[in-house]
Structure 1
Amino acid sequence: MRLSRKEQVFMALLGAAAASGLSVLILILVEATNVLLPADTKFGIVFDAGSSHTALFVYRWPADKQNNTGVVSQALACRVEGPGISSYTSEPAQAGESLQACLGEALALIPQAQHRETPMFLGATAGMRLLSRKNSSQARDIFAAVSRTLSQSPVDFQGAELLAGRDEGAFGWITINYLLGRLVQYSFSGEWIRPPEGVLAGALDLGGASTQIAFTPEGPILDESTQASFRLYGYSHSIYTHSHLCFGRDQMLARLLAGLVQSSPAALLRHPCHHSGYRTTLSLAALYESPCVQTTAPRNLTQELTIEGTGNPGACVSAIRQLFNFSSCRGREECAFNGVYQPPVQGQFYAFSNFYYTFHFLNLTSGQPLGTINATIWEFCQRPWKLVQASYPGQQRWLPDYCASGLYILTLLHEGYGFSEATWASIEFRKQAGGGDIGWTLGYMLNLTGMVPARAPAEGRAQSLLVWVAGVALVALMLVTILGAAGVQLFWPRKAGRSGLGSGSRPDPAGP
């Protein structure tokens, strides 16, 4: 059947509309694919060079959402073999070599094509802060050695840095609140909103050489040196943060022993924090190498000291209290110890690192009240050494020190930081939250890569989806309009001719 001229015009318009509509739809669907399909993954590497050991963390996130919340996840955690890098003073090159195995694991995980664009950082904390204070030349040599090793890797090494204590506490605060999703939340109405101040968690970190506390106080922060301010996701945060150098677990144990030696300068030391029946010998020379040990060293540092445990938790607590200067805060409500300003603790806290490891060993991470925790630790300290050894096989390295560590944590949190019977319940002893390890490394990487934006996150995926829907509606409207116009051109004259209008005939005078 041969088409009329008007029908040919209609078919041409229909073809043009279909072609243009199909082209626009393809472009919109390509854009929609970016919205609806999984995005490429990016990676970041952080070395945590602590006083007792180094750890590597690999983080990953969808490439199209780096400025949104809750998208960064931990892909790998690797503990470096050997001590912390501050221990390699005589052989700095080995500090760099010690990192190779964990770095190899990270490179195997990250696709080779993405190695060059993957940022890598090394942050050193209290161990290197102490070494820098004691011998800055040795500290520089170690930093140079690890930088040489890491700069030879195929990833984008951004450098090795010595973290200030305040920053270590602040980055821990960012990490825990990021992992918990408490910096910003997405409401049911489709808007990014700021969570109530009360949901922000405080951070309690106990390392080998220092301890950090960071939280949002109820009132103003009166000492600017303890204040850290951030603008995250369009909201301002002002937190209290302080790092107490020499109050980490390992340095506490060294200072405790030095104090006991000073009070009883004999070849045999009866140690109240070790279990009865425990016996060991050590050289005094190593004890006084730390800048944290400020007691007078004995004249004969070459002599070996024999230590016998007595399992006396009461005497152990008395010795631990000597490590603090509580009298300097007498009469001052907003004071921790050693004259350090601290507002009253408030809100929920997450205690990690050695806080967690010690209480996890003692089975005290289930929210037990303060009285129960105190009684449990005292009972543990009073067990004979033979019974403790039999109960915990394979844990010989740290086993003699859990009594002192447990009592020290109680003293630090209760008498030092000021947690009472009532506020103790607000402390969660945890290693992980939201699928990632709690520590300063995630907050550090987020800060250096700009992945926690100062401005509120744009609803990128939601906006792209709206654009897609609007585009589809626009194409549909365009097709209807074109087809409608073509239909009018083709069919309206025929309909009019059948009724007599426009055909040259006159209307029926007897019409309806």
Structure 2
Amino acid sequence: MEPRSPSKFKIPIMGFVQYKRVFNIGIIVLAVVLLLVGVYHVFGPGRGGNVLGRPYFTVVVDCGSTGTRVNVYEWVMKGERNWELPMLMHSYPDLSTKSPLWKGACQYHCLQTEPGLDKFVGNYSGVRASLEPLILWAEQQVPPERRGETPVFVLATAGLRRLDVVDVKQVLDDAEAVVGKHAFLHRRSWIRVLSGKEEAYYGWIALNYKMGRLGNNSRLPTLGLLDLGGSSLQVVMEVGESREDGHLVRSRVGLFEHRILAYSLTEFGINKAFDRTVSMLSQVQPLREGSGRKLELQHPCLGSDYVNNYTCDGCIFSNATDSNSSQPMRNHHFTSVYLVGDLNWEQCKGLARTAAIHSSSSDWSNLTLALNCKAHLPSHSGSNILNSKATTHAAACFHALSGFFVVYTMLNLSQRANMTEIWERGQLLCSRSDAHFGSISGNYARQFCFSVPYLASLIEDGLCLGDAEINFGPGDVSWTLGAALVEGEYLWLSTTNSRLSISSLKIKSVLASPFFLFILLLGLLLIVYCSQIKLPMPGKRGAGVRSSLPSYIYPKRRPN
């Protein structure tokens, strides 16, 4: 029998092989498309990081000495380069905010709970009552689908800095327990106490970012910062020359490095300074003890309608009189007194100036305001450090925020008001016997006639900034804006480390995604399948096909 011709089987067999190759390639292409769709679904916009033009949010809780506040910032990326700062689209609260937490007729920190968290050591209920309403309000400002990727930073300032380490840890642990029950993204390292230098630095970042002085497109000099809070005063300025200084902060923003001197003067906040005036008055006023061992203390910076109980830890009454025996009580210490308003502008000026330079002089009523400030600053005040730098700092212009801005607003001053205008407006209002400031809430209103000469004396005598240009405001700038930029930089930096940081934050939710597990399994099957496919070598197509044909197509010839 003659052997069958190979040509009869060649076309069908080669056609089958070609169809099989097309089928295999189609399977590979389909699997790759599904894999790419899965990667996009898991890591694409809305699931890992932020893309150009898509807004994202940051929440910062400010745990201050007088109360707890919250700010929500909405950002959008301006460019794809890692040195481009994000653009602030909106900050909350604003003037349109409606909330029971809004303090009517106030000028600063209008959305807050009181008192500060430092009053709730060992009191979880108190911490929760302070934080939860603010976080619930913040959640309403962020779209529901974005809350899980929106970070919340709970940052405390001077109020908690005064506490023992054990007490601080307990308050922060309670704060973390409250935050953990809500939808925002959080870490334990994001719930902490800021150092004074950090708080001052964040304020400087916030001011210069808001005023367009940071970033690669700005060639304008940066601005100095004066930020008057309840417990501390922040003073920050950029310096041109390099120096070794414990207050120096080196900061790279965009392509430029800034050398910044950041001071936090813990005894110069408005409430701390007012406490010193009460202590000074207790040493010179003739007092008589009333019922319940309460003493009345007249204060020349308070309106005539002011009467209130006051806790005075530093009051030592050297000439109080016992109401029962009419005998003097020498050097008795009382922690609770009744403050009674007895407005006297001239006496208030001297008292406020003494507090501004942290003087221990008991003859405060005879001090004048035209003295050389450098000669009268005691070394323990901390301000003498500023004086030695005052003529060499690079910032020729300072912006006065927070407490300074509140007083500026109440006096209805222009943004660039000079010290003469402050003194004249203050005297005009506070020299009236019927002066009343009850329409404005908070300590700045109650202590208005103290705040005016105090801030003027700080600038002229305490800080020696009389030759610098002082602008008041903008009123909506808070150090929390700087904290949102610096603490939340992983949200807007496009460097490799930032992407890794974002991925690590979301890794648990990604791995738990059923769709991600399906794509992972599909990829593994694809690898196994592809490893078993034998593809022909280029240029040897015929040999490849022929080698796969059965051997009986070419039988050996029998020898004749």
The verdict on a shared fold, with TM-score over 0.5 as the criterion, is yes
Aligned twin of 2:375: 330
**CA deviation profile, 1:441-471 (whole Å, cap 9, x unmatched):** 121121122267699xxxxxxxxxxxxxxxx
Distance 1:408 1:90, change over 3 A: farther
Distance 1:414 1:97, change over 3 A: same
Question: Considering only aligned residues, what root-mean-square deviation do their CA atoms show, in Å?
Answer: 3.2
Contact (CA 8 Å) 1:413, 1:419: kept in 2 or not?
A: yes
Contact (CA 8 Å) 2:383, 2:462: kept in 1 or not?
A: no
Contact (CA 8 Å) 1:61, 1:71: kept in 2 or not?
A: yes
How far apart are 1:207 and its partner, in Å?
Answer: 0.7
Q: Aligned pair 1:442/2:442, yes or no? A: no
How far apart are 1:315 and its partner, in Å?
Answer: 1.8
Aligned twin of 1:195: 219
Letter in 1 for 2:332: R
**CA deviation profile, 1:394-424 (whole Å, cap 9, x unmatched):** 658653310001110001111111122x42x
Distance 1:104 1:418, change over 3 A: same
How far apart are 1:75 and its partner, in Å?
Answer: 3.3
For residue 149 of structure 2, give the secondary structure of its aligned residue in structure 1.
coil
1:280 alignment partner, one of 307, 326, 340: 307
Distance 1:361 1:235, change over 3 A: same
Contact (CA 8 Å) 2:297, 2:340: kept in 1 or not?
A: yes
Q: Structure 1 residues 68-77 or 371-380, which shifts more?
A: 68-77
Q: Aligned pair 1:45/2:59, yes or no? A: yes
Q: Aligned pair 1:213/2:229, yes or no? A: no
Letter in 1 for 2:153: F
Letter in 2 for 1:401: Q
How far apart are 1:335 and its partner, in Å?
Answer: 12
Output the CA distance in 1 between the equivalents of 2:140 and 2:336.
49
Distance 1:237 1:362, change over 3 A: same
Letter in 2 for 1:150: V
Output the CA distance in 1 between the equivalents of 2:124 and 2:375.
45
Output the CA distance in 2 between the equivalents of 1:325 and 1:252.
8
Aligned twin of 1:418: 464
For residue 321 of structure 1, give the secondary structure of its aligned residue in structure 2.
helix
Aligned twin of 2:399: 350
Identical-residue share of aligned pairs (%): 22
**CA deviation profile, 1:254-277 (whole Å, cap 9, x unmatched):** 1211111122251343322123x3
Output the CA distance in 2 between the equivalents of 1:106 and 1:95.
17
Output the CA distance in 2 between the equivalents of 1:419 and 1:313.
24
Output the CA distance in 1 between the equivalents of 2:144 and 2:417.
48
Output the CA distance in 1 between the equivalents of 2:494 and 2:213.
15
Output the CA distance in 2 between the equivalents of 1:383 and 1:62.
51
Task: Give ranges in structure 2 of 5+ residues lacking alignment.
Answer: 1-44, 46-50, 94-109, 289-295, 319-330, 360-371, 496-560
How far apart are 1:51 and its partner, in Å?
Answer: 0.9
Output the CA distance in 2 between the equivalents of 1:102 and 1:49.
11
Output the CA distance in 1 between the equivalents of 2:77 and 2:440.
44
Letter in 2 for 1:287: C
**CA deviation profile, 1:100-152 (whole Å, cap 9, x unmatched):** 2221122122122222211110110111112x2xx443332221211110122
Letter in 1 for 2:155: G
Q: Aligned pair 1:305/2:345, yes or no? A: no
For residue 455 of structure 2, give the secondary structure of its aligned residue in structure 1.
helix
How far apart are 1:57 and its partner, in Å?
Answer: 0.9
For residue 287 of structure 2, give the secondary structure of its aligned residue in structure 1.
coil
How far apart are 1:38 and its partner, in Å?
Answer: 7.3
Distance 1:220 1:325, change over 3 A: farther
For residue 225 of structure 1, give the secondary structure of its aligned residue in structure 2.
coil
Output the CA distance in 2 between the equivalents of 1:65 and 1:360.
37
Output the CA distance in 1 between the equivalents of 2:279 and 2:171.
28
Aligned twin of 1:124: 156
Aligned twin of 1:409: 455
Distance 1:154 1:362, change over 3 A: same
Output the CA distance in 2 between the equivalents of 1:141 and 1:180.
38
Contact (CA 8 Å) 2:67, 2:115: kept in 1 or not?
A: yes
Output the CA distance in 2 between the equivalents of 1:279 and 1:114.
48
How far apart are 1:206 and its partner, in Å?
Answer: 0.7
Distance 1:38 1:216, change over 3 A: closer
Distance 1:253 1:166, change over 3 A: same
Output the CA distance in 1 between the equivalents of 2:259 and 2:227.
19
Letter in 1 for 2:232: S
Q: Aligned pair 1:370/2:419, yes or no? A: yes
Distance 1:394 1:98, change over 3 A: same
Aligned length: 388
Output the CA distance in 1 between the equivalents of 2:480 and 2:271.
21
Aligned twin of 1:170: 201
Q: TM-score when scaled to structure 1?
A: 0.68
Contact (CA 8 Å) 1:328, 1:338: kept in 2 or not?
A: no
How far apart are 1:157 and its partner, in Å?
Answer: 1.3
Contact (CA 8 Å) 2:283, 2:315: kept in 1 or not?
A: no
For residue 309 of structure 2, give the secondary structure of its aligned residue in structure 1.
strand
For residue 103 of structure 1, give the secondary structure of its aligned residue in structure 2.
helix
Q: TM-score when scaled to structure 2?
A: 0.63
Letter in 2 for 1:272: P
How far apart are 1:76 and its partner, in Å?
Answer: 1.5
Output the CA distance in 1 between the equivalents of 2:60 and 2:373.
38
Aligned twin of 2:554: none
How far apart are 1:388 and its partner, in Å?
Answer: 2.5
Aligned twin of 1:106: 138
Aligned twin of 1:263: 284
Output the CA distance in 2 between the equivalents of 1:331 and 1:278.
35
Letter in 2 for 1:195: R
Aligned twin of 1:148: 177
Output the CA distance in 2 between the equivalents of 1:120 and 1:335.
38
Distance 1:127 1:173, change over 3 A: same
For residue 83 of structure 1, give the secondary structure of its aligned residue in structure 2.
coil
Contact (CA 8 Å) 2:277, 2:352: kept in 1 or not?
A: yes
Output the CA distance in 2 between the equivalents of 1:341 and 1:387.
35
1:243 alignment partner, one of 260, 264, 267: 264
**CA deviation profile, 1:156-184 (whole Å, cap 9, x unmatched):** 11331101101111111111111122112
1:381-392 maps to which residues of 2 (within 5 A)?
381-384=430-433, 386-388=434-436
Contact (CA 8 Å) 1:356, 1:365: kept in 2 or not?
A: no
Contact (CA 8 Å) 2:404, 2:472: kept in 1 or not?
A: yes
Contact (CA 8 Å) 1:274, 1:404: kept in 2 or not?
A: yes
Contact (CA 8 Å) 1:202, 1:214: kept in 2 or not?
A: yes
Output the CA distance in 2 between the equivalents of 1:308 and 1:109.
42
Q: Aligned pair 1:59/2:73, yes or no? A: yes
Distance 1:249 1:325, change over 3 A: closer
Distance 1:123 1:394, change over 3 A: closer
Aligned twin of 1:83: 115
Aligned twin of 1:190: none
